[in-house]
Amino acid sequence: MEQPYEPESRVPAGHRPPAVARVLVVEDDSTVAEIVAGYLDRAGYAVDRAEDGPEALSRAAARRPDLVVLDLMLPGMDGLEVCRRMRERGPVPVIMLTARGDEDDRILGLEVGADDYVTKPFSPRELVLRVESVLRRTRPVAGTHPLGAAGLTVDPAARRATKNGAELALTLREFDLLAFFLRHPGRAYSREDLMHEVWGWDFGDLSTVTVHVRRLRGKVEDDPARPRLIQTVWGVGYRFDPAGSEGS
Residue 225 lies in a domain: yes
Residues 112 and 157 in one domain: no
**DSSP for the chain?**
---SB---S-PPTT---SS--EEEEE-S-HHHHHHHHHHHHHTT-EEEEESSHHHHHHHHHHS--SEEEEES--SSS-HHHHHHHHHHTS---EEEEEETT-HHHHHHHHHTT--EEEEESB-HHHHHHHHHHHHHHHS--TTPPPEEETTEEEETTTTEEEETTEEP---HHHHHHHHHHHHSTT-EEEHHHHIIIII--SS--THHHHHHHHHHHHHH-SSTTS-SSEEEETTTEEEE-GGGGGG-
160 compared with 12, residue with greater pLDDT = 160
Of 47, 117, 105, whose CA–CA distance to 81 is shortest?
105
Domain assignment of residue 95, given as a range: 22-138
Residue 4 lies in a domain: no
Residues 31 and 53 in one domain: yes
Of 28, 159, 189, whose CA–CA distance to 91 is shortest?
159
Residues 173 and 102 in one domain: no
Residue 43 lies in a domain: yes
Residue 186 lies in a domain: yes
Residues 155 and 238 in one domain: yes
Model confidence at 12, in pLDDT bands (50, 70, 90)?
very low
Residue 20 has pLDDT above 90, yes or no: no
Residues 161 and 78 in one domain: no
Residue 7 lies in a domain: no
Which residue, 114, 138, 162, sits at the end of a domain? 138
Residue 246 has pLDDT above 60, yes or no: no
Residues 171 and 110 in one domain: no
| pLDDT reported for residue 189 | 95
Residues 106 and 172 in one domain: no
Rounded to an integer, the average pLDDT of 134-160 is 81
Looking at the structure of the chain, the number of domains it has is 2
Residue 167 lies in a domain: yes
Q: What is the pLDDT of residues 62-79, one digit of tens each?
A: 999 999 999 988 888 988
Rounded to an integer, the average pLDDT of 131-147 is 76
